[in-house]
Structure 1
Amino acid sequence: MSQALVDLVHRYTEAHPGTNPWMTAIDNVGILRSDVPRQPSPLLFQPSLCVVAQGTKQSVFGTRRYEYGPGQALVVSVEMPAFSRVAAASPEEPFLGVVIGLDRKLVSEVMDSLAAPPKISPQVPRGVFVTDYDGPLADCVIRLMRLLETPEAIPHVAPLVMREIVYWLLSGPHAADVAKVALADGRTHRVLSAVHALRANFAEAIRVDELAAIAQLSPSAFHRQFKALTSMTPVQFQKQLRLLEARHLLVSGAANAETAAFRVGYESASQFSREYARMFGAPPRRDAEAFRRPLPG
């Protein structure tokens, strides 16, 4: 654990009263803090590097559970729904984390500039994994946090540090997974195209054979490779997207439960309520009301 990073993140949250997550003056960089453990919460992960400075976090993607603590980071390379919770935190030692968005275009640019790019296997890469961050990568995260104390330097220095972070990811033990998603060539590109099609049309009835055709694979091969990438089946992926969008509609006041159900693709309001309660732990209306209340810590 880097005490310097702990001190920087703690100091920032103390100096900037607000709600979790703190979105900083650096594009695609956010800060997480919790003074108490949290129950699992569904959310939609964007491609990102999720660094833990203090405390412990758990995230579940489909059938795979990842636990990561100080000195570790979760790397997500594909937009995916998941359940995430703060597992270890206290007022004396709050959970502190930094989330750094990964821009696929920047990853591709750095990849193209490498004299010896990482070797890529023919297998579909993992869309998420846990890695240690130390040495140069840890130094980059610390420098990003220090930049927040000199905002006039952010436009000039932050893009360089972000590029360096990508370089170290492409030079690390999981370089092939990062690189293959960034390149999105061949089979991976086709599977990703199907994932994006499902993401864009999640409210429509799913036809696995149509998604398989986009990926240019047989339905069975597509199903296997989709799960290898996302840790869930296409049906599970779609259901979580639908319910996350419904929750957004309910919490924002844009729709009531019945309207939200039909807008995200459910034909039965009662089925929607059952599946919503199973995912969020309470019926739609009660959950939305509880979600609007500020959480302590």
Structure 2
Amino acid sequence: MLHDAVVAAFAAHGSGSPYFTVIDGLALLRSFSERHPNHLIHRPALCIVVQGAKWTTFGERRLHYRTSQAMVVSVEMPGASQVVHGAPDAPYLSAVIELDQAILREVYESMEAPPTPASGEHAAAFVMELNEAILGCAARAVSLLGEPQAIPLLYPGVKRELCYRLLAGPHGGVFARMVVGAERNRRLVEAIHALRGNFDKQVRVDDLAALAGLSPTAFHRQFKAMTAMTPVQFQKQIRLMEARRLMLSREMSAETVAFEVGYASPSQFSREYARLFGAPPRRDIGKLLSA
């Protein structure tokens, strides 16, 4: 069982959470109580809840997921998550498996009857129910932590099977769109990546729309349908999360980091920082360091 594998992995290897395992792209999370919102940039991944419950917000969209469900993220984007069910005798447990686009594509192209890529405007994050086959793949991946010498030989096969189960399941069309998709969807994702990579610069929405092959109005609508944020909100959250990371890891001042992430005014940076994280930079960072 996945639950037993995760508990055994924490008992043998991981004292902290998140526990970034020796398997690239596999992390385990554990919480003994409800947590305050945790802001982070989500990478394309499958976040499987093994025990407990959690919510994640992306812009105006909030996703709730619990035991035997998973949140799927298909595009790198900022969000905030909070554990809502976790206790000393039954901690929140989850396994995060990053989606390997190359293997997903390889499996898709090898299928005798691959799913038709989903069409229309779809959110880049959604919640899905998990079946025994997917949970079994995740359990085998976590169990390999007890056999590190077997990881290079066996984990690639587990990843391939997981990709197959996702493509062959009820949401196969959505996963197919991640690797194939329509030209318009692919170019929209490229525009999102461009905004993500240039978060500290002035980026014109018209230029992003041109990269996506859309009119500014259509780009704005489809960007929000996918991320639940406007391009400006997306960029702002990326800037503020990067600023927080820099102040924690490099001990940079709020004034210095404001310019580093693209703000022209430290006072505007402090206001927007407090709005997102609930406290001004100095107080927020002090609280995090003391914790």
TM bucket normalised to smaller: over 0.9
Shift of 1:49: 0.4
Query: Quick check: 1:212 aligned with 2:243?
Result: no
Name the residue aligned to 2:281: 284
Cα separation, 1, equivalents of 2:131 and 2:118 = 26
Name the residue aligned to 1:68: 65
Once the two structures are aligned, what percentage of the paired residues are identical?
49
Deviations 1:63-105 (A, max 9, x none): 1111111100001110010010111000000001000011211
Match of 1:226, SS state, is helix
Shift of 1:140: 0.5
Contact 2:9–2:143, Cα closer than 8 Å, also in 1: no
Match of 1:60, SS state, is strand
Partner AA of 1:286 in structure 2? R
Q: What does 1:203-282 correspond to in 2, within 5 Å? A: 203-282=200-279
Contact 2:20–2:28, Cα closer than 8 Å, also in 1: yes
Deviations 1:9-56 (A, max 9, x none): 122212224321101121110100000110112110000000000010
Contact 2:2–2:50, Cα closer than 8 Å, also in 1: yes
TM-score (norm: length of structure 2): 0.97
Shift of 1:121: 3.8
Match of 2:79, SS state, is strand
Cα separation, 2, equivalents of 1:265 and 1:147 = 43
Cα separation, 1, equivalents of 2:51 and 2:14 = 19
Shift of 1:57: 0.8
Cα separation, 2, equivalents of 1:112 and 1:230 = 27
Name the residue aligned to 2:9: 12
Deviations 1:175-201 (A, max 9, x none): 111111222540011101110110111
Q: What does 1:85-104 correspond to in 2, within 5 Å? A: 85-104=82-101
Contact 2:248–2:289, Cα closer than 8 Å, also in 1: yes
TM-score (norm: length of structure 1): 0.95
Q: Which range moves more in the overlay, 45-54 or 119-128?
A: 119-128
Deviations 1:207-227 (A, max 9, x none): 111110111111110011111
Match of 1:130, SS state, is strand
Cα separation, 1, equivalents of 2:283 and 2:250 = 13
Structure 1 gaps, min length 5: none
Shift of 1:114: 1.3
Deviations 1:246-288 (A, max 9, x none): 0011011252101110111111100100100111111111211
Partner AA of 1:281 in structure 2? G
Query: Quick check: 1:133 aligned with 2:130?
Result: yes
Match of 2:184, SS state, is helix
The count of residues paired between Structure 1 and Structure 2 equals 291
Shift of 1:152: 1.4
**Runs ≥4 in structure 1, deviation > 4 angstroms?**
none
Query: Quick check: 1:40 aligned with 2:53?
Result: no
Shift of 1:206: 2.8
Cα separation, 2, equivalents of 1:104 and 1:290 = 38
Cα separation, 2, equivalents of 1:204 and 1:151 = 43
Match of 1:122, SS state, is coil
Shift of 1:5: 1.8
Cα separation, 2, equivalents of 1:121 and 1:67 = 23
Contact 2:118–2:174, Cα closer than 8 Å, also in 1: no
Alignment partner of 1:144 out of 141, 145, 150: 141
Contact 1:251–1:289, Cα closer than 8 Å, also in 2: no
- Aligned alpha-carbon RMSD (Å): 1.2
Name the residue aligned to 2:197: 200
Partner AA of 1:137 in structure 2? I
Match of 2:146, SS state, is coil
Contact 1:184–1:192, Cα closer than 8 Å, also in 2: no
Alignment partner of 2:165 out of 165, 168, 171: 168
